[in-house]
């Protein structure tokens, strides 16, 4: 299911070759590799709190790192020090931190004007996904991200997109 989640998110990211992206919770770096293949002058910063996934992601993306389009860091979002309005797109797959409003403010500040947050979730229980979508949508809107859309790719894959005004 995770591989499918990554495949389905790529078109939803609307990547341009010059875009700058942040992935929160990069795991083994599958999505990083898919995004990096679309970048020329842009870049992706990928973070994960755990060392083991960061090591796997770094190994998987060695070529993209050498090209200078990928930067992988072991960090928690709350510890990430980036200039305000650094990213065109921030995304996360199966990351639960948006179920509370704490992460929304950090992401809003990191996004450029009209930048987008894209969240993807997969679960076998459609009712659970639907409840999660309602909760996260409310948190995103309350945190200053607008035009929240909910996109069901299929009954088990859900994407939320919000825009920084």
Q: What is the pTM of this model?
A: 0.96
DSSP annotation of 159 reads: E
Q: 62 exposed, middle or buried (CB, 10 Å; 0-12, 13-18, 19+)?
A: exposed
Q: Which sequence spans correspond to the domains of the chain?
A: 2-163
Residues of the chain with confidence (pLDDT) below 50: none
**Which token pair is 135?**
């909760």
Percent of the chain at pLDDT > 70 equals 99
**Which token pair is 88?**
């065109």
At residue 101, the pLDDT reads: 74
Second CATH level (architecture) for the domain 2-163: 3-Layer(aba) Sandwich (3.40)
At residue 108, the pLDDT reads: 95
Query: Which helix (H) or strand (E) segment is 57 a member of?
Result: helix 51-60
**Which token pair is 157?**
């894959």
pLDDT per position as a tens digit, 72-101 = 999 999 888 888 899 999 999 999 999 887
At residue 2, the pLDDT reads: 72
CB-based contacts of 139: which residues, under 8 Å, 6+ apart?
Answer: 98, 99, 100, 101, 104
At residue 53, the pLDDT reads: 95
């Amino acid at each position: 299911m995770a591989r499918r989640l990554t495949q389905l998110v790529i078109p939803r990211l609307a990547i341009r070759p010059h875009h700058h992206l942040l992935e929160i919770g990069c795991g083994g770096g599958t999505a990083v590799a898919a995004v990096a293949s679309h970048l020329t002058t842009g870049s992706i910063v990928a973070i994960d709190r755990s060392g083991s996934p960061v090591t796997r992601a770094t190994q998987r993306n060695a070529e993209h790192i050498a090209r200078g389009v990928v930067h992988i860091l072991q960090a928690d979002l709350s510890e990430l020090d980036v200039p305000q309005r650094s990213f065109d797109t921030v995304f996360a797959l199966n990351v639960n931190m948006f179920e509370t409003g704490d992460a929304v403010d950090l992401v809003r500040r990191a996004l450029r004007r009209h930048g987008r947050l894209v969240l993807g979730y997969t679960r076998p229980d459609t009712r659970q996904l639907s409840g999660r979508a309602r909760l996260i949508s409310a948190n995103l809107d309350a945190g200053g991200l607008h035009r929240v859309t909910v996109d069901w790719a299929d009954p088990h894959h859900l994407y939320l997109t919000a825009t920084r005004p």
